[in-house]
Structure 1
């Protein structure tokens, strides 16, 4: 036996369908707004975000090294991180603005955890932990910049990465010479 739906029941089903359609439309609009620059690949955008977080972290940890480091080489390296990464960070922020990418507002969870662990240390304990963190960080950064320089799709982002590979290579070499034991 078939049962017919009354007018009110049809109206409720129709409105429910409209609400679901509206939710789907809202989600589509949000996705479109999130991708402001559709010509920039997701890998280029991810590189820019990661590089920005890393650059900000280098500056913050460099300032920490100047305060908490015992060895002159650690304090000097910390100052170099501030001096070298600050203008690169400004250059990257300008490039992000040009590419309509919202730069990250902070250093991110991984860098924050490292910073907080280092902030608890002083003297030679700080020196050793900071040196290990800088070697690891610069190895990762160098790999990311080399990958972007070789495989990036946006010419300006790729050129940015290419320009800064030599600096990161030098930073890694210097970090490897810091006291680590």
Structure 2
């Protein structure tokens, strides 16, 4: 009888200890490591954010340079997003359907602005977001996943051009 009690106590302790593990469960359906998965998710969200903000810029801005920049963002980030989405599907990584609350708040703030205030806020957002994107994609050029490596190397020069353009347009606003 004592052996049964000790055995059940051991099972209970093991069960309790395993419930205390704070590590998230690994998604065994996913074909890539956590760093690659994180890159894919961050890349998809960043692209969605740029597209949403730029669609607002197309309607809220009256500045031809800002509108031209916004159109470039929509075209380039839509194309890159489609490519990254295919990589995500091929590697069984599920991207988020929505953007983060921070990005959503930035977009919400933009919708309440117009004129020069809008242009400055939008371009400041583009500069900051593209600095982050260049950093993210630079790190991804060291990734072991062949698809991510090719995508990052192909997309990084485009993002650097976006950052340079965003800085130029931002500096031209009075």
- Assess same fold via TM > 0.5: yes
User: SS at the partner of 1:106?
Assistant: coil
Match of residue 147 from structure 1: 139
Which ranges in structure 2 are unaligned for 5 or more consecutive residues?
Answer: none
- Structure 1: distance between partners of 2:18 and 2:119: 53
Q: Which runs of 4+ in 1 moved over 2 A?
A: 13-25, 34-38
Q: 1:60 aligns with which of 36, 46, 52?
A: 52
TM-score, with structure 1 as normaliser: 0.81
Alpha-carbon deviations, 1:51-86, whole Å to 9, x = none? 000001111111010011121111111111111111
C-alpha distance in 2 between matches for 1:22 and 1:98? 37
The equivalent position to 1:116 in structure 2, one of 100, 103, 108, is 108
Question: Cα RMSD between the aligned structures?
Answer: 2.8
| Matching residue of 2:30 | 37
Q: Report the counterpart of residue 21 of structure 1 in structure 2.
A: 15
Q: Which residue of 2 aligns with 1:99?
A: 91
Q: 1:20 deviation in Å?
A: 6.9
Q: Which runs of 5+ in 1 are unaligned?
A: none
User: Residue 89 of structure 1: which of 81, 86, 100 is its match?
Assistant: 81
Using the TM superposition, give the Cα deviation of residue 41 of structure 1 relative to its aligned residue in structure 2, in angstroms: 2.1
Rounded to whole Å, the distance in 2 between the matches of 1:70 and 1:161 is: 33
Tell me the secondary structure at the aligned position of residue 107 of structure 1: coil
Q: Are the equivalent residues in 2 in contact too, given 1:131–1:180 (CA < 8 A)?
A: no
